[in-house]
A and B are shown apart, each in its own frame.
Chain A
Amino acid sequence: MSELFRRDPRAQWIARNRLHPLHQTLVIGPVFGPSGLLRKNLHSIGFIGPNGLKRIDRSGASNDSAQGSRRAAAASEVILPLHQVLEPAFYIVVVLDLVSGRLNGHDKDTLGLAQQLANRNGGAGAVVAIAFGELKDDSLDKAGVDRLIHLDSPHYEQYNPEQRCNDLQVIVDDLKPQHILLPDSINGGGDLGRRLATKLQQRPACGVWKLIDDTVTCRGSAGKSDITRPLSQLMLVMEECSEPISETRHENIVIPQDTSQFTGAKLIDQGNISVDPNAIPLAEAGFILSGGNGINDWPQFHHTASVLGATEGASRVAVDDGNMPRERQVGATGTWVTAQVYIAVGISGAIQHMQGIGQCEKVVAINTDEGCDMVKRADLSAIGDSTEILTRLVELIEQRKQTINGGATND
């Protein structure tokens, strides 16, 4: 939409004519009476609240006339204040995971914690983000990166933790950072951080999830205990260890840095191996399509699972009837699952089954019976014939894949 303000003579004329039937809908802003006093027409502002009473929002945010919304749209692209560190008193180094070249939540939380460390006690440190390989994300400035070291060459596209560790050693020697933070993740940060710790002969704080003054709280005993210990230079931090940066922009100044000289790698990456979703143990699967007694067309169920890339699960009945192998059984008597999304097709939801999916984040039910327990539990329930719904879902997903692929080639 154009940013130009266009005059609408008719609207202006109606706005001047207080007797026009549409007058009240267009009057926005101050109206000055004949004596020069500001007049407010209380009938034209506000809205009727849910209990039938008139509500007036004096901030004006809920007014949505044509001109008002245009202004609001323009104002919504808020330019956040820029946080500048001209002369960094010290550095906080953050090594980003950058899964497929983008910041993920864990990276952002790590940067958030780094900013906390850089600015606490009135300090004026700069957060130096280190990125290996391709960097597709252009929101680094909004995520709290003051300085950026970007090491990019084709071999960073592979898993080469020894090279990266060596690079980090060089950088740490240069910058002498007060703290080095890495996400304690399986996406590389956990591994790289521990390698760096051995090279630097440092004892890292691992599994850090809370910072209080000069101490950090870490998860120990594989998540069963909390260890409170002093801040250490090298810290491997957990997801949600801090709020991500959201109210400031940062300079994101690139510090040039070359790849360090390193020979003698003992690991050679041979690339990823494609894994069948059904080879993933049910308990670890993030996305499960589970079938029960209500499924008539099992080949179609398997087809849907493969199109969705979902791991297959089953209710006890489906297993008993021989439609699915026993290790696919979900529930208290089968496997307890922790999927992010669990789609239950034709499963009415025996108590044991509901117990087994208690930890799933989003449950989708596809069932003919609207009154069944699964529908009561589900976040989204589709009532209807499962075969038809799955067929349509597969079509939609294939269409979507085509448009995405098509879009990608156009780019």
Chain B
Amino acid sequence: MTNDNLSVISLVSIGEHPTSRRPRRAEQDARAIELGIKLVGENLQTLHAGELPDDANQQTALRSYLGMGLAEMNLLEMPAQADAVLVIAEHLKQQNPDVILTGVRAESGESSGMLPYLLAEHLGMAMVTSIADILSVDEANQQAEVLQALPRGQRRKLIVDLPFVASVDMAAAMPRQSAFGPAMRGLLDTAVAGDFADEEASTWQTSNAKKRPKRLKIIKAKTAADRFKAATAKASGGGGKVVHGVEESAQAILDLLVEEGLV
């Protein structure tokens, strides 16, 4: 694809590893960059709004995006807890990008997934969610063809008017490896941005996620005996059943697939 005049901006956030909770390159944002590089190569711009840690080691997460081969990244400095939408919207209004790529939702904080929608609204752009790929961009007609990710690996093709905001799904192409050298040498182009405090969120209580109880199959039965039977029948019937013989085996497997709704 040759889209020399296309202006693509990829928004990146600092991710959080699911088990160690350490800052890292966010998976969806990295995919957004990968998609952006596929579209416009070196002309891809990247933007991050947040705090810039002084310590080089703490910048690692941000710099790991640079390690994907980007020369520089624009950084709008603001307190970590502040609302990034207005800051980014102000900045982007001056840039007039054709395509803005983001992740579907952040890996830390509220992670409501609202940012791309709010940006699209502020900038009057179209919004398309959970894309897996951008197939083509037709600059003459101001349209692009995108693939949207649906559950279970299904895809939907959409035509979307330029300019648009797209949130990139995990189904998009895997991001390239981040290399240490370019990551350390890339430039962080910092500008101090406004501070829009998020007062509402400051009243919320946040704790580590509790494990949600697995829903039991509740049997509405009139008697204790029935409930007991229903509760015990499952365990003795399904678990570890062994069948012999070709016909019985095939039938048992088919029954299980039907029960699970797969055929």
Contacts and interface: CB of A to CB of B under 8 A. Distances in A.
B152 A224 contact: no
Contact of A222 (B16, B245, B254): B16
A198 B118 contact: yes
B158 A364 contact: no
B128 to A, nearest CB: 6
Contacts of B257: 308, 341, 397
B108 A400 contact: no
A343 interface: yes
17 contacts: A191-B129, A194-B113, A206-B114, A220-B111, A224-B16, A228-B205, A268-B159, A272-B154, A275-B153, A284-B152, A362-B256, A379-B238, A380-B241, A383-B242, A384-B245, A393-B254, A401-B263
A284 B157 contact: no
Task: Please classify the interface of chain B as helix (H, G, I), strand (E, B), loop, or mixed, using the class held by over half of its residues.
Answer: mixed
B153 A221 contact: no
A195 B210 CA distance: 29
B240 interface: yes
Nearest to A279: B153
Given A186-B150, A227-B206, A381-B240, A266 B246 contact: no
Contact of B262 (A61, A204, A287, A393): A287
Interface residues of A, number: 83
B80 interface: no
A51 interface: no
A229 interface: yes
Interface stretch (B175-183, B188-196, B220-228): B220-228
Q: Give the size range of B's interface with the partner.
A: 35 or more
Contact of A221 (B111, B145, B225, B249): B111
Interface of B: 16, 18, 21, 105-114, 117-118, 120-121, 126-130, 145, 147-161, 164, 170-171, 200, 203-210, 212, 215, 218, 220, 222-223, 225-226, 238-254, 256-258, 260, 262-263
Given A198-B117, A221-B111, A227-B204, 9 more contacts: A61-B222, A220-B111, A222-B105, A222-B106, A222-B111, A224-B108, A284-B170, A375-B242, A382-B250
Contact of A341 (B154, B222, B240, B262): B262
Given A59-B223, A198-B117, A340-B262, A225 B152 contact: no
Given A240-B215, A284-B171, A221 B107 contact: yes
Nearest to B247: A392
A222 B113 CA distance: 10
B113 A370 contact: no
Given A204-B112, A228-B204, A228-B205, A273 B155 contact: yes
